[in-house]
Structures are given as C-alpha cells and as structure tokens.
A and B are shown apart, each in its own frame.
Chain A
Amino acid sequence: MDVSVELALTVNGVPVRRRVEPRQSLADFLRYELELTGSHVGCEHGACGACTVRVDGTPVRGCLMLAVQADGSRVETIEGIAASGELADLQRAFAEENALQCGFCTPGMLLTAQEILRRNPRAGDVEIREGLSGNYCRCTGYHAIVQAVLRAGGVREKGQP
C-alpha cells in the first residue's frame, strides 16, 4: 500500500514538489531526496544539533521534524545560506580561529551561531556558550568556536551605524 504523501515547499529559494513517506525526517528528505548533504545526521534524537536547518527563518533539528511537517514552508540549508553570503563573516572567523576540525558539526554550529548573533551581536562568552548548548562538537573543545562567534559578533557590532 502506497502511503506516500505529496509535499510542496521551498528549499534554498527553489520550489520543490515530492512524494515522501510520512515517516521520513526532514533531515533525511534533504539529504537523500534532494541530495543536500550539508546538514549531517549525528544522533537522530535531537541531541547533537548536526542536522540543524532553518524552517521559515527559525533553526530547527532536521532529525526531529518530519518532512511532511515542512509542507508549505521555506527551508534553508547550509548550502543555500552559505551561497547567499549571509554567513561570510562567521565562516571567515571560524576558519581563522580553527573553530572546526572534522567539520561534521560545523554546518549546525554555523546556523546556531548565526541565530545567537541575530539575537544579540554583542553576545558575550556565557551567552554564546548557552546558545551553543544544543550542538555537540567532539573535536575542538568549544574554545575556538566561542572565540570565532565573539570575533564575528565584534565585527558586526562595529559595522553597524
């Protein structure tokens, strides 16, 4: 019995229409149906944050949301957000601070960092660490990531009128 459901959504600005199984997670939908492999699946139970994507402007766990729940939504992945240039300063800061090693958690980290700075470009060490508390990194020990977010925030602050 075919239980697949049709959904229509916008992914990185492009309209997408697909039939999917209702049980498919948004993360799997993006990775396997659309071949957008930038968001990664680390735990499938909402703990690691590697699958973070934006749905209608809000960061969500791609593994905890079903693809069908994104019907009609605007979904943005690291590929789209990076290509738009929105993250350029954060990416630069991450590279300069070596705020990534294996890079598996990095797309999720960047989207979370972007949300932290969107809320408060002046976020300090404690606020950044709290903001990153849903994203595991096993390589860096977080120090460099915090430094990178501080650095990008500082630059944004100066750049504002």
Chain B
Amino acid sequence: MSDTPARITERESYIGRSVVRPQTARLLAGRGVFTDDVTLPRMTHVAFVRSPHAHARIGAIDTAAARALPGVIAVVTGVELARVCDGWVGTLAHFQGMKSAKQHALAIGKAAWQGEPVVAVVAESRAIAEDGVGRVAVEWEPLPAVTEPETALDPATPLIHPELGDNLVFSLELKAGDVEEAFRQADAVYTDTFRMGRHTAVTVEPRTILADFDPAEQQLTVYHAFQAPHMMQDILARHLRLPEHHVRVICRDVGGSFGLKVHIYPDEVAACALAVLLGRPVKFTADRVESFVSDIHARDHRVRAEVAVKRDGTILGMRVDDLTGIGPYSVYPRTSAVEGNQTVRLTPALYRFRHYAARLSVVLQNKTPMCQYRAVGHPVAFAVMEGMVDRVARELGLDPVEVRRRNLVTQDMYPHTTQTGYFFERLSLEECLDSLLELADYRRLCAERDALRARGTYRGLGLCGFVELTTPGPAFYGVGGARISSQDGCTIRFEPSGTLTCMTGVTEQGQGTDTMIAQVVATAVGVPMEHVRVLTGDTMVTPYGGGTWASRGAGIGGEAALLSGKALKENILKVAAAILGGEPMDLDVRRGAVVDADTGEVRLPLAEVGRIAYFRPDTLPKDFQSELTVTRHYVPRHQGFAFTNGIQLSHVEVDMETGFVRLLKHWVVEDCGRIINPRLVDEQLRGAIVQGIGAALWEHCVYDDQGQLRNGTLMDYLVPMAPEIPDIVVGHVETPTAYSEGGFKGAGEAGTAGAPGAVLNAVNDALAPFGARLTAQPITPGDVLTALGKL
C-alpha cells in the first residue's frame, strides 16, 4: 500500500482550471428542475392570510366562507396547526443571555409583523387558494408597533413579547487592550455614526416548497428550494414528530439563495405540517409581494465608531457601538444575533492596533424578521472601518493608501490573532493592496480625478479592504446547540464502466458546486472530468452534511471530495494489483486507466477493473474483497474559520446638480486560497459585488412609522440591473491554507463584504472638494444633495 499518495498538483490536475460547468447545458435548454416545476399526483396549493398589521392581537377567525368555496380543501388556523407542529425558539446557547420568543408556523393569538402568516388556505390551485384567503375574516385588534431600534429599549416602548421582560435579544461587550489609554495618547479622535439600511436578498426564484406525506409509510418527502437539506430534515422530523429517517429533503435546482434559503420560515414549515395533516402533497410558492414581507431582511445597523489616531495616521484604538433591529423573532435555528456578533468582531480585523472596545445591542422590532444574508456582518464592519480610515486620511491630509499601509497586519505577524479573537493562519493584505493598485492603475486614476475636478467633473475613488470568514468549524453552531452540521462527506461509487458517481453533502445553488467537486474528484482519482457525475441535495442519498452556506462548499465539501477520491484511488490500485499480480505502489491511475507508475504505460483500463471487480470476482484471490464505493468526511478541526482576504476599489462619478452616482468601474483582488476554478470564483465575486453595490446605492426596505413596508414590489424596491452596473475587474492572490490537504478556502462572501464600503468611500471622495460626507446607505441622490446643502 502506498504511503505517499500522488500529489494533486500533477500536470493532469483539473484544479486551477476554468472548466465549463457541465450542468449549464441543462439550464440553458430550459430543462432545469426548480421546485415549482415539480408536480405530484393529488397535489394541492397553499396560500396564506397574512397579518395586515405590524402588531395586532388576533381575535375571532371566520373561515366558513373560505371553506365553502369550491376547490378549497382545508382552511387551517395557528391553533389547529400547532396540534401537529411544535413551535421553535431561535437562540444559541453560547451567546450568553440571548433570548427570543416561541414562534409558530402560523401565528397564535398575536401577529408581530406585517406579513406574518396567520391562516392557511389549501386548495386545488393557487388561484383558488388565494380566492379562499380573500374570504377569511379575521378580527384584528391593532397594537402599537415598535419600529425604531433607537427607542426599542425605552421604558415607554411597548414590549413585543411581554414574557421576555424587554425588547433586548442579545447584548455583548468586547474589550481588548486598554482603550482609554489609547484615546488619551491620541493626537486626534474622530467619531462617526453609520446607518446601514435594511435590505433583502431578492433571489429571482422565490422561496418554494413542496411537501408530500405518505400516511401509510409515515414518510414525508419534501422538495425544497434550500441550501441545507439535512438541517431541514432534522427540523421537520423534530417539529412534526416524525422519525428522522422518515423525512427526505430533496433540493434540486435552486434559483439563487445567498443565505436567504437557509433559514426556517413559518410558511414553509406550515406547508409541511399541512401535508402531514391532509395526507396530500402541498405546494407553497411565495409570490413576489409575499417575498418582500416574509423573506428575511438583512443588515439594519446603526454603528457609532470612534478612532484614536496619531498625526501620522497610525490607529491607536477604536470604540464601536452597534445597534441592530432584527424584527420580532430571532430567526431559527441560526439566530439573528450572529450578524451583529460578526460585525463587531470583524470591524478591526485588518489592522494591527490592539486597543478595541465594542458594544452590541440586538433589539426587537415589528418588522419582517432580519437574519443572515450573504457576508453576514462583513459589509457593515468594513464599511465602518474603511470609512473611518478614509476619514482619518482626509482629516490629517494623508493618502488613504498610506494610512492603510501604516496599519495593516503585515506578513511577519502571522499566525495572528485579532483584537476580538479571530485566528488568521496567513493572509495577504499587503499583496492584495499592491496588486489592486497596479491592476487598476490607481495613481493614474487619482491624477485623472484631480484633473477632471478642475474642469467641474467630480469623480471619486474608494478603497475597502476586507477579510472573509469561510469554512466554519464546529464551534460556530454546534456548541450553541443548533443541529447544523459542520462536517461534510463525499461518497464516490466506482461504476462497472470505470466512471464515477459522486454524492456530496454540500449543495448546488448556482455556484458550480457540482463542477468544483467533479474537478477535485477527477484529479484525485485520475480520471477525465466527464467520467464523474455529481449528485447533491438529497438527504436519502448524500452523506450527512451542512450544505452550502458561509462559503463552506470548497473548504469542507472540496476537502471531503479530495480525501474520498484519494481513498478510492488506493482501492482501485489494490484491485488492479490483485488482477495484475503486483504491488499497488507500482501502479497509478491516470486519464481513466491503471498505468505503470514509473513509465505511464497503460496496464488496465478502469472499465476492466470494474468488470472484474463486479462481475468476475471469482478470478481474484479468495481472500481479496474489492471496495469500490468509498466515503470520507471532513470537518475543520484546527482553526475556527479559514479566513480569506482582499480589497476592492470603486470608481464613481457624482453629478453635483442631480445627486446621481454613476459607477464607472470596480476592481477586486481577492485571496481564497487554492483556486479550484478561476472562472467560477470570478463570477462569484462579481455577483457578490453587485449585491453589495445594490445595498450601497439602491436597495432599501422602507417602512413607515406603523411598521408597514412601503416598497414591497420590484417596481419600487430597486435591484441593480445591467445598465447601472460597471465592468468589474478581478485579480487573485493565492494563499492556500496549510490546515487542509487541498488548501481550499471560500469565496462567496468576499464581493459583498467589501463593495458597500468601497462605493461609500468613492462617493465621499467625489464629494470631498465640497466638504460633504455621507455615512448612511443606501446613498440616494437626495442624500447626496442634502450633504451638499442643496436640499
């Protein structure tokens, strides 16, 4: 047996190559299978009566008229549904003192946000279900709505859940070094308050679930547009009181997710509970108006930041106070406190100053629940930090690049533990900065900006560095009691023809997980990539795992695939050695054939290995058993997260008459460790950047003081479209993690992490000649004109 398996960096490696994703052929032909495309016999559709009030007591519910409608199958209230479905509480035990109220699939007694599902109408078609919804009469007793985080804890503010005692969900104080002393030693102190608006993910495919319950077998099969099928299996089993192995969750094509589709939504659980109740398939597909009031919202922070600096721009210390409003419930099971926790922990991470104090307050509101969306906490942290760095540079008359250089964590400092306890194995902050400046020809852009300014054209350049938390280990959720797997597995089945069927616990929502896994497996085993078929998203088939979120697909799923591929190769060589009568170590697998390890001469096609192992084992030695299906698992044990890093530059032009911001170009240089497929990484970055740009300039969930969402359609909630978006130039630095064999880290959050800060800084750079500055997003033309004193 070979102790030194072949290295994966051989010349025939697929790792590092921009191979085309095989599954795109299906999607490009209109042959994708998204959850709403699935139809089952006797399928029913559910629509929900949703609370029209942000906060209201639910009185009598009259369902008679709805029940009488032809085609309506059932009308179910919260109390009735609770008989088959247990409620839940979204807290984590390691967030000390965290609390939230019990939430039910359908509201019982009280509705706590406009859009909360209250009554379910099941019918033969969605249209009839909606007709039924229109005939349900609910007696509402409106209550005062808590809308502003700033006053959520005031004694005069009503309590959203009186049993909790106050509207505080979670608070945290962090202290590193001696902040008071740092501020005493400072030449200058600068303070700003940033307001990062509430927005939402807007996946183009709305949330969809189709639940099918077979009462004879007590088997629940759920087709779901979701990122974490095993998590959903666990939750449905527990809350619907079914044996875990009687619940199967299938996630086929998923039309965008971005963290939106990794949470427990009451209407989706209700659809599953209704399927159990009725013994028939029940489909729920959110319409866009429902999406706006029921999909999780994101961010909604007010951050007060203070930095203490030396005259040369050296940062001595920092104080941060983050207040965030999360709606009426902490979202189950990941919780809405992770966002703020990550914000205050990530804020100072790029820089080497040691004195840091942070306070976090997470409070309740009567608005749509807020939870984790792409780059949880990151965009807020880095918009604040990098906004303060630019402020320091401006106030002290220094170059923003130089202020960054003076403060960055440097190459000689690794391994490095941040002020807030994050462990950095090795990052490339300086290399990424240097590479970005060169890639963008930054000095020329500065000169051009200055020249144009003299002619009345106002352009701005904004930098935003970031680190990205990827590949989360077991300490992230498991220790807090959330049953979310931090490990993942990969099973590879060697088919008789010599091709491979690979089942992985990580999931595909468009990132190209299938492709990335196929590249790793093909490389590890030594077969052409087209000989590998990857299966994801089926709890009955794939190894138990966490799914794809927090950029864990490559770092965890990719590593499991690598280990599994190498183990399979060893087993193939054992079979080949048994057939050929030799030692496995003298053989290798290359291009789909067993070859002589030294000469590369083909000894046995893999199809021959398969034929003999499966159909003619009688020709093999009597004591030999082939094992051509293997599974390996991986969990990151040696560090909490595989941090990545990068920096972005935004180039904008601001029209000082109209306040409009035009994006000219955007650059990013990012380091996600060893890159499996550069093109997939580039497009991850670009897509994520545009989500960050959306937050910076347009996307905003606007509420009135009664807690009513005022812009719940795509006609008035602005999502970036092709004409507004600039070209995005991507560069890479590669610092593989040494803690795993593949060296892979994640790349999904990076774009969103840095884009809002870069745009905000760029706009402020353009406004600088007028002494104007903005610290809130989205940046509207009205905000620009107000800052200029024109409104």
A binds B: yes
B24 touches A95 (CB 8 A): yes
B34 touches A101 (CB 8 A): no
A107-123 CB contact bits vs B (8 Å, 1 = yes)?
Answer: 10010000000000000
A102 touches B253 (CB 8 A): yes
Once the chains are docked, how many angstroms separate the CA of A137 from the CA of B205? 10
Once the chains are docked, how many angstroms separate the CA of A55 from the CA of B151? 54
Question: Per a CB cutoff under 8 Å, which of A100, A101, A139, A142 touches B725?
Answer: A142
Contact A140-B204, Cβ < 8 Å, known A23-B127, A38-B31, A98-B21: no
Q: Is B713 an interface residue (CB 8 A)?
A: yes
Q: A79 — nearest CB in chain B belongs to which residue?
A: B30
B204 touches A136 (CB 8 A): yes
A143 touches B727 (CB 8 A): yes
Shortest Cβ gap from A102 to chain B (Å): 3
A residues less than 8 Å from B686 (CB atoms): 140-141, 143-144
Question: Per a CB cutoff under 8 Å, which of B687, B714, B715 touches A139?
Answer: B687
Q: A130 — nearest CB in chain B belongs to which residue?
A: B723
A residues less than 8 Å from B256 (CB atoms): 101-102, 104, 138-139
Shortest Cβ gap from A71 to chain B (Å): 20
Contact A101-B683, Cβ < 8 Å, known A41-B36, A96-B20: yes
B127 touches A40 (CB 8 A): no
B203 touches A98 (CB 8 A): no
Question: Per a CB cutoff under 8 Å, which of A39, A102, A140 touches B255?
Answer: A102
B721 touches A100 (CB 8 A): no
Contact A98-B679, Cβ < 8 Å, known A37-B37, A143-B727: yes
Q: Is B689 an interface residue (CB 8 A)?
A: yes
Q: B32 — nearest CB in chain A belongs to which residue?
A: A103
Once the chains are docked, how many angstroms separate the CA of A44 from the CA of B36? 14
Stretch at the interface among B140-148, B424-432, B508-516, B586-594: B508-516
A104 touches B723 (CB 8 A): no
A104 touches B30 (CB 8 A): no
Contact A103-B512, Cβ < 8 Å, known A45-B715, A132-B721, A138-B691: no
A50 touches B28 (CB 8 A): no
A residues less than 8 Å from B20 (CB atoms): 95-96, 98
B507-530 CB contact bits vs A (8 Å, 1 = yes)?
Answer: 001111000000000000000000
Residues 85-101 of A contacting B (Cβ, < 8 Å): 87, 91, 94-96, 98, 100-101
Contact A103-B24, Cβ < 8 Å, known A47-B715, A98-B680, A139-B687: yes
Residues 641-690 of B contacting A (Cβ, < 8 Å): 679-680, 682-683, 686-690
B residues less than 8 Å from A48 (CB atoms): 204, 288, 714
Once the chains are docked, how many angstroms separate the CA of A96 from the CA of B687? 17
Contact A101-B713, Cβ < 8 Å, known A95-B25, A141-B725: no
Once the chains are docked, how many angstroms separate the CA of A80 from the CA of B713? 31
Once the chains are docked, how many angstroms separate the CA of A38 from the CA of B135? 33
B30 touches A78 (CB 8 A): yes
B255 touches A40 (CB 8 A): yes
Tally A residues with Cβ within 8 Å of B. Answer: 59
Q: Is A129 an interface residue (CB 8 A)?
A: yes
Q: Is B27 an interface residue (CB 8 A)?
A: yes
Question: Per a CB cutoff under 8 Å, which of A39, A47, A96, A100 touches B713?
Answer: A47
Shortest Cβ gap from A33 to chain B (Å): 11
A137 touches B204 (CB 8 A): yes
Contact A133-B205, Cβ < 8 Å, known A139-B510, A139-B687: no
B28 touches A42 (CB 8 A): no
Q: B508 — nearest CB in chain A belongs to which residue?
A: A102
Q: Is B254 an interface residue (CB 8 A)?
A: yes
A residues less than 8 Å from B723 (CB atoms): 126, 129-130, 132-133
Q: Is B226 an interface residue (CB 8 A)?
A: no
Q: B260 — nearest CB in chain A belongs to which residue?
A: A138
B residues less than 8 Å from A104 (CB atoms): 32, 34, 203-205, 253, 255-256
Q: Which of A41, A79, A94, A134 gathers the greatest number of chain B CB atoms within 10 Å?
A: A41
Residues 25-57 of A contacting B (Cβ, < 8 Å): 31-32, 35-45, 47-48, 50
Q: Is B206 an interface residue (CB 8 A)?
A: yes
Once the chains are docked, how many angstroms separate the CA of A47 from the CA of B287? 13
Residues 688-723 of B contacting A (Cβ, < 8 Å): 688-691, 713-715, 719, 721-723
Once the chains are docked, how many angstroms separate the CA of A79 from the CA of B39? 18
Q: Is B113 an interface residue (CB 8 A)?
A: no
B722 touches A102 (CB 8 A): no
Shortest Cβ gap from A117 to chain B (Å): 15
A residues less than 8 Å from B715 (CB atoms): 45, 47
A42 touches B204 (CB 8 A): yes
Once the chains are docked, how many angstroms separate the CA of A144 from the CA of B32? 20
Once the chains are docked, how many angstroms separate the CA of A36 from the CA of B31? 9
11 A-B contacts (beta carbon < 8 Å): A32-B39, A38-B31, A42-B205, A79-B29, A94-B28, A95-B21, A103-B28, A103-B255, A128-B722, A138-B203, A142-B725
Spell out A's residues near B (CB within 8 Å). 21, 23-24, 31-32, 35-45, 47-48, 50, 77-79, 82-83, 87, 91, 94-96, 98, 100-107, 110, 125-126, 128-130, 132-146
Spell out B's residues near A (CB within 8 Å). 18, 20-21, 24-34, 36-37, 39, 127, 201-206, 253-258, 287-288, 509-512, 679-680, 682-683, 686-691, 713-715, 719, 721-723, 725, 727-728, 751
Q: Lowest 6 A-B CB distances belong to which pairs?
A: A38-B30, A103-B27, A104-B255, A102-B510, A101-B510, A78-B30
